Amino acid sequence: MPRVEPRTAARLFAIQAARLAANTRCHNVVVLEVSGISPVTDYLVLATGTSPRQMQTVCDQVEEMGEGQTPPNKAFSRQDDGSANWSCIDFIDVVVHVFSQDARSYYDLDGLWGDAKKVEWREEAAVAK
């Protein structure tokens, strides 16, 4: 099996996480490439959930997906705000944020990282290119 460059692996994992979130009813899913403008991570995945239970499920499934990869992509940490409005999973090179609609507007990470390059993650768009 060919070795995948770490940066390419991180990009692929971010895309997989975005697709999983979208397939589990998250909306407004965005992947931002922040390498070069963030000293902390290379990719951010931002998604808006529909309910606290759905947000919890998405986060659980993203963690399971990472652990099931070869080599495993284990979460370094997982945090939430205690009120089911926001959850964050840090995979070092990829950070996944799942917000409620109100929290997404409040934290405005889309605006904060407005200089970041958006990564196309939808399968139909990738096939069209």
Burial of 102 (0-12, 13-18, 19+ CB in 10 A): exposed
- Average pLDDT of the residues in 95-104: 96
Among 73, 90, 80, 19, CA closest to 55: 80
CATH code: domain 6-121 is 3.30.460.10
Tell me: the pLDDT tens digits for 30-56? 999 999 999 999 999 999 999 999 999
Amino acid at 84: A
Provide CB contacts within 8 A for 117, sequence distance 6+.
32, 33
Name the pLDDT band for 82 (thresholds 50, 70, 90): confident
Whether pLDDT at 126 is above 60: no
Q: Where are the domains of the chain?
A: 6-121
**97 in Cβ contact with 30 (< 8 Å):** no
Say what percent of the chain tops pLDDT 90: 79
Looking at residue 99, what is its pLDDT?
97
Q: How much is the pTM?
A: 0.90
Name the pLDDT band for 1 (thresholds 50, 70, 90): very low
**Per-position DSSP letters for 57-122, written without gaps between them:** HHHHHHHHHHHTSSS----SEEEE-SSSSEEEEE-SSEEEEEE-HHHHHHH-HHHHTTTSEEEP--
Say what percent of the chain tops pLDDT 70: 91
Integer distance in angstroms from the first to the last C-alpha of the chain?
Answer: 26
Whether pLDDT at 128 is above 60: no
Structure tokens at 59: 């986060």
Whether pLDDT at 127 is above 50: no
